[in-house]
Structure 1
Amino acid sequence: MNRTRLIIRGATLAAAAAAVAATAALSSTQDVTRFRVEHSLAATFANLYVQQAAILGVPGITDGGIAASATCDRGGPKVADVGPGADWICMVTFHDEHHQVQTGKFELQVKANSTYVAGGPSKLVGLATITDRTGRDVPNPVFEFDGAFDPNN
């Protein structure tokens, strides 16, 4: 009789664990939305572009002057633009140091914990290392970067 109870409890615990996992997966899918990814990517890119300009010694570059925006899509037209995955593609548009509009495709790996890794075209953002104003090679903050978004906004 004890063995039967143990099996029933085990089945009940397994069902409860599955329900918790399903709820967590649904919650994380709902937390990762196109709006959240776009908003975070644009702001993070702008901040890092300002850092890159400072490293290169380019004066007068500000977040507001860059006016970065992002338009994202996950997995093409047949996939909803929600949920974590390595199939997010975003077009980032901004004004460079010459006030010219630039647009580049960024590939994102968005995770269920509201973070992402983004990489853009080196033709637009530069190589993995750049030479600072003193002649040293340093990591390029815009080449590939991590970002996060608030899952409650």
Structure 2
Amino acid sequence: MNPFLFKAHPLLSATIGLFADPAGQKLSEAALLLLFYLGANLVWAIALALILREAAQLQPRPLVLYGMALPALIAYLPITLTVLQDVLSHTFSLAERFIPVFALAIACSMLGALYGLMFRYPRSGRPIGLNAGFTVSLAMLLATLPLGFALLKSDLLSAVL
């Protein structure tokens, strides 16, 4: 059994299903999931803009922010919702959720390296570096927590999934 799908949030199940077997998905369900991600990415792009302004004193173009926030959204939100769902229902057990929590740590490291290399200072053209990239990545993960709580409490995802 896939450890990510053990009592998973429906968004995580739908996302893994879309990535694992895109041909097996109905076009309407896949389109609805993609539209949700593209719409939710607006909030993540705003969060990324605020974090970059504080952490690295950068203000990239909106299209760059939107494109660079999408990997954080797809990597963090479904797994975070699954873990938060367990926390809110008081059934969180690290033995059951070790692999998703470990996947969040790995995703945070990989996105930190990506952000550290892709975001550049405008005057020198030099990358912001790994320290600032990891700071931005970790801040995006931490920003996912209140946004995930808001999504769980608003029950917005039940209309999508």
TM-score by length of 2: 0.34
Higher strand share: 1
Larger Rg: 1
| More contact order relative to length (CA 8 Å, sep ≥ 6) | 2
TM-score by length of 1: 0.35
